[in-house]
Amino acid sequence: MIELPLSGQTALVTGGARRIGAAIVRGLHAAGAKVIIHYHQSNTDALALAKELNQQRADSAFLVAADLQQTDLSAMMQQVLAYDKGLDIVVNNASLFYPTCLEWNEKAAQALMQVNAFAPYQLSLLAKPALEKHRGTIINLVDIHAEKPLRGYSLYSQSKAALRQQTMSLAKELAPYIRVNAVAPGAILWPEDKAALTAEQKAAMLKNIPLQRLGTAEEIAAAVLYLSTATYVTGVILPVEGGRLLVK
């Protein structure tokens, strides 16, 4: 039997029911990992994804539901750790993305910072003992706009800048037993709902991407898989953005 690169490993992916999160779940699962799919509102997608993966390999996909806006995530992590013999990979993918105007908005500030920066921090700290035992790894999904802020999205950009810094900070703090890295996607899947873009905005964005197309969720999943197996890489923010950062 062929040994897959993540055979015997268990991965938690937050916001893993749909879009990029689901591609990451599928990528890690195809590489042999058991997956714990965290979700909040996407109950139907999460159930369908777990069913699909468990049909491929029995008892290889589990679900955990939690609102990452709550400030105590210890019950969620207890549930995660109860599923299997340990934890090897934590992918902090769940995120909020919407524009904010330049007036103080406590609700938006707290929600964006909590879900995008503090929840990943808390989950990483809660997972630390388990990850240390397995010489595990943390992968955060940041954004190219953590480095170059996106106009109209100041709080979102700040929250991702915090997560970017958190990645480098934890890489130092958690070495030598736990590696911590991030993927910084460019434009991959168009945003939905209150962040949806007009056709003109989409065309303007595509014009600024040297590779002249959106990336795919699978290309982000491939970067996550690379970082999960790159045993001498830590503290790295890996841009996957079609050259977007080269353009002003």
Ligand X SMILES: NC(=O)c1ccc[n+]([C@@H]2O[C@H](COP(=O)([O-])OP(=O)(O)OC[C@H]3O[C@@H](n4cnc5c(N)ncnc54)[C@H](OP(=O)(O)O)[C@@H]3O)[C@@H](O)[C@H]2O)c1
Select 40 or 134, whichever has its Cβ closest to ligand X.
40
User: From the CB of 177, what's the least distance to ligand X, in Å?
Assistant: 25
Give the residue, chosen from 113, 115, 127, 237, that forms a contact with ligand X under the rule CB under 6 A.
115
Residues 16-55 close enough to bind ligand X by CB under 6 A: 17-21, 39-42
User: From the CB of 134, what's the least distance to ligand X, in Å?
Assistant: 24
Select 53 or 68, whichever has its Cβ closest to ligand X.
68
Which of 11-19, 55-63, 71-79, 130-138 is the region at the interface with ligand X (rule: CB under 6 A)? 11-19
Which of 1-9, 53-61, 64-72, 168-176 is the region at the interface with ligand X (rule: CB under 6 A)? 64-72
* Contact flag: residue 209 with ligand X (CB under 6 A): no
Residues 126-155 close enough to bind ligand X by CB under 6 A: 141, 143
Select 19 or 202, whichever has its Cβ closest to ligand X.
19
Cα 68 from Cα 22, distance rounded (Å) = 17
CB contact at 8 A, 139 and 89: yes
User: From the CB of 1, what's the least distance to ligand X, in Å?
Assistant: 33
Residues 74-113 close enough to bind ligand X by CB under 6 A: 93-97
Binding mask 187-206 for ligand X (x = CB under 6 A): xxx-----------------
DSSP letters for the chain = -PPPTTTT-EEEETT-SSHHHHHHHHHHHHTT-EEEEEESS-HHHHHHHHHHHHHHSTT-EEEEE--TTSS--HHHHHHHHHHSS---EEEE---------SS--HHHHHHHHIIIIIHHHHHHHHHHHHHHHTT-EEEEE--GGGTSPPTT-HHHHHHHHHHHHHHHHHHHHHTTT-EEEEEEE-S-S---GGG---HHHHHHHHHT-TT-S---HHHHHHHHHHHHH-TT--S-EEEESTTGGG--
Cite the active site residues.
156
User: From the CB of 147, what's the least distance to ligand X, in Å?
Assistant: 12
Q: Using CB under 6 A as the criterion, which residues of the chain lie in contact with ligand X when the complex forms?
A: 15, 17-21, 39-42, 67-69, 93-97, 115, 141, 143, 185, 187-189
